A and B are shown apart, each in its own frame.
Chain A
Amino acid sequence: DTEVTQTPKHLVMGMTNKKSLKCEQHMGHRAMYWYKQKAKKPPELMFVYSYEKLSINESVPSRFSPECPNSSLLNLHLHALQPEDSALYLCASSQAGGNQPQHFGDGTRLSIL
C-alpha cells in the first residue's frame, strides 16, 4: 500500500468543467509535488511545494491551479482543460531538501472529453 493517497483514481471531465485532484500524506513530509505523465513517457514535474509554499512552477498553464492548504494535503484545481491534458497525474512527497527520496501515490488517470 502506498503512503501517498490520491483521489479520485479516475476522472472524466468535459472541457468546460471544474474539478479538483487531491493528494494526502501522513509521513510528516514538508515537500509535495505534482507530476504529469503521458502514456509511455516519463513523469514531468509541474509544481513543487515546500513548507506549504509554492517553490517551483514549471511554466504550467494557468488552467492548472495548485493549492497546499496544510502540510498533509495537496490539491490540483482543474478548469477549462484541453484534450491534450489527458494523462496520469502523480503526486509525490518527501522530507524538505533536494537530497531526500520522493514517495509517489498511484496517480489519478484524467480523461478530457
Chain B
Amino acid sequence: KQEVTQIPAALSVPEGENLVLNCSFTDSAIYNLQWFRQDPGKGLTSLLLIQSSQREQTSGRLNASLDKSSGRSTLYIAASQPGDSATYLCAARNDMRFGAGTRLTVKP
C-alpha cells in the first residue's frame, strides 16, 4: 500500500524567499504525481502534474520535479508571496494517496 510523506509539516517564510516542499512515496510504480494547494475550508486546486516518464514540470513561479527511483518529488516556489499561503498537498497516482500536506505561511 502506497505511503506518502510530506516534509516539513509547516513552514513560515518572509515574502520574497524561494522555498522547497518535499514529498516522498514508498511505491515507485506510479502513473504520475500531482501537486495541489488547499485554502482553508476550500477544495483542492491542481498546481502541477508530472507524468511518471517526466522529470519536471513548470508553471509560472512553480517548478515540480520527480525522481521515481528515489521515491521523491519536490515543489519549488520562487519569490514567494503572501497569496501563496495555503496547505500544499502531493498525491501519488497509482491509488491516489495524499500526503498530509505542508502548511505554508508567507509573511509580508
Contact = CB atoms under 8 A, between A and B. Distances in A.
Interface of A: 2, 4, 6, 33, 41-45, 88, 90, 92, 98-99, 101-107, 109
B93 A98 contact: yes
B32 interface: yes
B46 A101 contact: yes
Interface string B7-43: 0000000000000000000000001101010000111
B70 interface: no
Interface residues of B, number: 23
Given A42-B89, A42-B98, A102 B45 contact: no
A112 to B, nearest CB: 18
A48 to B, nearest CB: 8
Nearest to B90: A42
28 contacts: A2-B43, A4-B43, A6-B43, A33-B96, A42-B89, A42-B100, A43-B89, A43-B98, A44-B98, A45-B96, A88-B41, A92-B44, A98-B31, A98-B94, A99-B31, A99-B32, A99-B52, A99-B93, A101-B46, A102-B34, A102-B46, A102-B91, A104-B36, A104-B44, A104-B46, A105-B43, A106-B42, A109-B41
